[in-house]
Amino acid sequence: MKRISISTLLLFITSIAVFAQMEGKKPISQPLVSHIFTADPSAHVFKGKIYIYPSHDIESGAKEDDEGGHFDMKDYHILSMKKIGGKVKDHGVALDIKDVPWAGRQMWAPDAAYHNGTYYLYFPVKDKQDIFRIGVATSNKPQGPFKAEPEPMKGSYSIDPSVFKDTDGTYYMYFGGIWGGQLQRWDDNEYHANAALKKPEEVAYLPRIAKMNPDMKSFAEEVKEVQLLDENGKPFLEKNNDKRFFEAAWMHKYNGKYYFSYSTGDTHNLCYAIGDSPYGPFTYKGIVLKPVQGWTNHHSIIEIKGKWYLFYHDVQLSGKTHLRNVKVTELKYNPDGTIQTIEPYK
């Protein structure tokens, strides 16, 4: 008889609970595209047009495991639209894993940035030693195609790169994800292949940050931890898995404050915390988006013509956790700057 790990069993139970909770309810938004499966949408406005940089989900036949082996993506497709609710264009393959010299497998959630006439695509992929690193590719067009650098970014590791441009023009990269994202294998930027996940009473893992060099291809400093605190100024413990960081870091700025948002992973919330510096510390404030159908959620938050929008995904089209579809809905703030929690189904 095949042995099932505790984490796999918990994932199964949680997924069933989420689907049961959504049964009979209707989604508040529809998939942006249906001809391919997409997830983890990083949205940006470039040259007055909305560009979305998602993962491209496929059915590769890879075996499902605790580390997400069945999320076996092999390329990136970039989407664009002139306005929210407008026609969405798929620009085709922007970067293929076979064109990344150092890559082994699994092209996960990307992000993009623009600086001095060049567009940069940042992507996590396992190297040939099966360790997640972050790569960078460049193009003179926001939709690509992109050409990858011959090596991953020095000092990079784990998954979910997210690049934020501050109002002074400085760029920062946030990244990290536990479990399959391998963040638990890194301590003080040193790799430990056999590192175990945190126990419930231990302080939870923290996301990472590094300021970018002007070349946009390297870090200007040592990678640091991002301090994420509860309402009482205390760090979260691993057992606080409805609030602690799991993956999917995103940064945006609103009324002079820094909003760090992220996914709690196994409890399916998109949460946020607010700080006065891009480095933090960030104080937890609440939930941006409640759980969606599917195991993961991963998002981006941007302003378009005076309104704010949340891009996210669920599994409306397939019902399978690894075949997702990206969506968008409006995001609203309260007068005190807190975000109004969004219910994905009504």
Q: Kindly give the pairing relationship between strand 228-229 and strand 103-107.
A: unpaired
Angle, vertex CA 261, rays to CA 84 and CA 37, nearest 5 = 50
Task: Give me the DSSP letters along 173-206.
Answer: EEE--SGGG-GGGEETTEE-TTPPPPPTTSBPP-
Distance CA 144, CA 146 (A): 5
Q: Kindly give the pairing relationship between strand 89-96 and strand 228-229.
A: unpaired
Distance CA 38, CA 71 (A): 12
CB 139 within 8 A of CB 171: no
Tallying the residues shown for the chain, one arrives at 346
Which is nearest to 227 in space by CA: 309, 147, 145, 284? 284
Q: Kindly give the pairing relationship between strand 282-289 and strand 270-275.
A: antiparallel
3-state secondary structure of 44: strand
Q: Which of 40, 72, 160, 314 is catalytic?
A: 40
Q: 266: which DSSP letter?
A: G
Distance CA 247, CA 262 (A): 6
Q: Tell me if residue 247 is catalytic.
A: yes
Distance CA 175, CA 208 (A): 5
Q: Which of 72, 111, 247, 266 is catalytic?
A: 247
Which is nearest to 289 in space by CA: 315, 317, 261? 261
Token pair in block for residue 123: 């992507």
Distance CA 207, CA 320 (A): 27
- As annotated, the active-site residues are 40, 247
